[in-house]
Amino acid sequence: MLDRHLHPHLKPLLHRWAGALDKPALTPDGLTLTGFAIGALALPLLALGWYPAALVAIVLNRLCDGLDGALARRRGLTDAGGFLDIALDFLFYALVPFGFILAAPQQNALAGGWLLFAFIGTGSSFLAFAALAAKHQIANPGYAHKSFYYLGGLTEGTETILLFVLCCLFPQHFSLLAWIFGALCWMTTLTRIWSGYLTLKAVQPRA
């Protein structure tokens, strides 16, 4: 919901930072892998209950995720880079709730499982439509800077990162936040499935 409003303001700033990083030794894919490695540290940090350190890892991961795309746009977007970016993003989004489950299994397991279940819904509807949108060459002017069709919704990347930040700041409320956000994710999934179905039905050639 917030991504399309936030991206136009962040894009010029990321472009400037990417210009400073645009050196032969640094590639967009390398930055993607570095960001994921940093983000993956959040899993053991959360499991150990080191929430401030985990928050730093999460924020740095998201910063790298913005910079790798900006650097790729300077050099030319590639399908391989776009695939790597989205695959590692979804792994990152899954490892954070799992870290909270490991930190306090009795308190967080059920809510964490609900959140991961909801992420499956948002992720699968997102990727399924993106694949078919590319097949039918459906334009997406709201996210023209993306290397694949970016289907929006109530819970997008910005909202998910805000959730992770709140969970790190108030870990005792993880279960409540996970239940609420999981419900919002299912609202996103249902609207994506319905709107995606109608969109693809409209562009399907008639026999």
Contact predicate 112/101, CB 8 Å: yes
Distance CA 172, CA 74 (A): 42
User: Helix-strand-coil percent breakdown of the chain, rounded to 5?
Assistant: 80, 0, 20
Give me the half-sphere count of Cα atoms (radius 13 Å) on the Cβ side of residue 43.
Answer: 11
Q: How many CB atoms are closer than 10 A to CB 38? A: 19
Contact predicate 88/32, CB 8 Å: yes
pLDDT by 10s per residue, the chain, length 207: 555 656 666 676 767 766 777 787 788 899 999 999 999 999 999 999 999 999 999 999 999 988 888 888 887 778 898 899 999 999 999 999 999 999 999 999 999 999 999 999 999 988 888 888 877 777 665 544 455 455 556 678 789 999 999 999 999 999 999 999 999 999 999 998 998 888 888 887 665
CATH superfamily of 3-203: CDP-alcohol phosphotransferase transmembrane (TM) domain (1.20.120.1760)
CA 142 to chain CA mean position, Å = 17
Stated as kind and residue range, the H or E segment containing 197 is helix 174-203
